[in-house]
Structure 1
Amino acid sequence: MPRLTDARKDLRRAQIAEAAVRCFGRTGLERTSIADITAESGLSAGSIYAHYRNKADLVRAAARDVLARRADVLGEYAASEAPPDPDELLARLVAAIDPVEARVGVQTWGEATTDPEVHDIVVDMIDRMGAMLHDCVTAWLVKVEHQEPARARESAAPVARRVSALYQAELLHAALRSPAGTAAR
């Protein structure tokens, strides 16, 4: 059997993770089986297990993929000459919410209350998102508000926490207002 290149492995992993998110969004984390993900991805179960150990591994990969996309955007905002102020930052994040990803995120939060492995994933993702928001708000305070970096870093902490909390509330709102069973775009 021919070996997959690293690039091909990455594409296959992404294909599987995207199929898993669509399934999780439609039927929930608990009710989605590896067979569902296999059917959605068009791959064999062996292929799924060659890339992911179990469903928790897929949840982790999906969460990291979503966070990586947010990290790219937040990094661009922070690096720009005039980073957005906290209100604009929140507005941009909210505008980018995908309802299916929001449903999967909220389901993952629920699972985190009873599953220690999922709990660790959620806490890590929230902490990483918070750090990225903190960096973005700090950049805005330094570049636009002309605060000294050390003071800006300190001032940014409570603002970033509020932006994070409001973003999480918007994710919940998006998850609840989008109909269950809707397939990802």
Structure 2
Amino acid sequence: MATHRSARGLARMAAIIEAAVVVFARDGVDRATTNAIAAQAGISPGSLYQYFNDRTDILKAVVRDYISRLAEVYQAVWPTINATTPRPEMIAALLVPLAEFKRANATFAMVYAHPNLPAELRQEVDGVNQAFTTRLVALLAARNPATPRETLELAARQAACLFRGSLPLLGSVTGDEQRDTQELCTVIDAYLASREIS
């Protein structure tokens, strides 16, 4: 595989990754072929192999692309809130952009669950999510200085679990994903309130 770092090469790689996401969603990861991915990208299989060795190589690239974009979303939400932001607004500011991003990248859940995904990539995804939770704990600590750290850590992890567990179901309750997201924010707000965490 040749290394392509020119603007044109990077654009071609991005197009292949985008095509792979479409093919993975349509055919499933196991049934997807490099020929199908090349066709979706509008290039020949030979051109694809100039950028990626095989389907697993493409799978890794899809995950790394997702990780990069997820990290960008996480970074973008923090400047919108601080220790004085009302709790309901804080929760919405954190969760709504993440819900929108994850809905727009629903195929990733299937890719992430694939048994051929290398463990180190799972660890990278988990690391990005853990960094978010750690920063959330720090924010909660600034808002609740008298609350024990372990209480805040448990609350942050539980809120994250509620959020991640509910993501696949958004839209199935009211038929409107945005409304369901707001309802989920209300549930998490009520949970934090029950723990007397502002």
Q: Is the 8 A contact 2:17 2:58 kept in 1?
A: yes
The Cα of 1:124 is off from its aligned counterpart by 2.4
Structure 1 counterpart SS, 2:53: coil
Q: Which residue of 1 aligns with 2:127?
A: 127
Aligned pairs for 1:86-97 within 5 A: 86=91, 88-97=93-102
Instruction: State TM-score, norm by structure 1.
Output: 0.70
Q: Letter of the aligned partner of 1:129 in structure 2?
A: N
Aligned pairs for 1:168-179 within 5 A: 168-173=164-169
Q: Is the 8 A contact 1:19 1:40 kept in 2?
A: yes
Q: Which residue of 2 aligns with 1:66?
A: 66
> Over alpha carbons, which structure has the higher Rg?
2
The Cα of 1:28 is off from its aligned counterpart by 0.6
Q: Is the 8 A contact 2:80 2:93 kept in 1?
A: no
Q: Which residue of 2 aligns with 1:28?
A: 28
Where does the alignment leave 5 or more consecutive residues of structure 1 unmatched?
Answer: 178-185
Stretch deviating more after TM superposition (122-131 or 11-20): 122-131
Q: Letter of the aligned partner of 2:108 in structure 1?
A: G
Q: Is the 8 A contact 1:34 1:45 kept in 2?
A: yes
Q: Letter of the aligned partner of 2:15 in structure 1?
A: Q
Q: Letter of the aligned partner of 1:126 in structure 2?
A: D
Q: Is the 8 A contact 2:66 2:108 kept in 1?
A: no
What value does the CA root-mean-square deviation take over the aligned residues?
3.3
Q: Which residue of 2 aligns with 1:7?
A: 7
Where does the alignment leave 5 or more consecutive residues of structure 2 unmatched?
Answer: 174-198
Structure 2 counterpart SS, 1:50: coil
Q: Deviations over 1:89-139 (max 9, x none)?
A: 23331233335x32x323224323xx3x4343223212222213422x145
Aligned counterparts of 1:60 and 1:159: Cα–Cα separation in 2: 32
Stretch deviating more after TM superposition (65-74 or 81-90): 81-90
Equivalent pairs: percent with the same residue?
24
Q: Deviations over 1:48-81 (max 9, x none)?
A: 1111122122112112222222211211222345
Q: Is the 8 A contact 2:137 2:152 kept in 1?
A: yes
Instruction: Determine which structure has greater relative contact order: mean sequence separation of CA pairs < 8 Å that are 6+ residues apart, divided by chain length.
Output: 1
Q: Is the 8 A contact 1:108 1:118 kept in 2?
A: no
Change (3 A) 1:80 1:37: same
Q: Number of residue pairs matched?
A: 165
Q: Is the 8 A contact 2:141 2:152 kept in 1?
A: no
Aligned counterparts of 2:151 and 2:91: Cα–Cα separation in 1: 12
The Cα of 1:88 is off from its aligned counterpart by 4.5
Q: Is the 8 A contact 1:13 1:51 kept in 2?
A: yes
Q: Deviations over 1:144-180 (max 9, x none)?
A: x2749xx87x665434433442343234436x99xxx
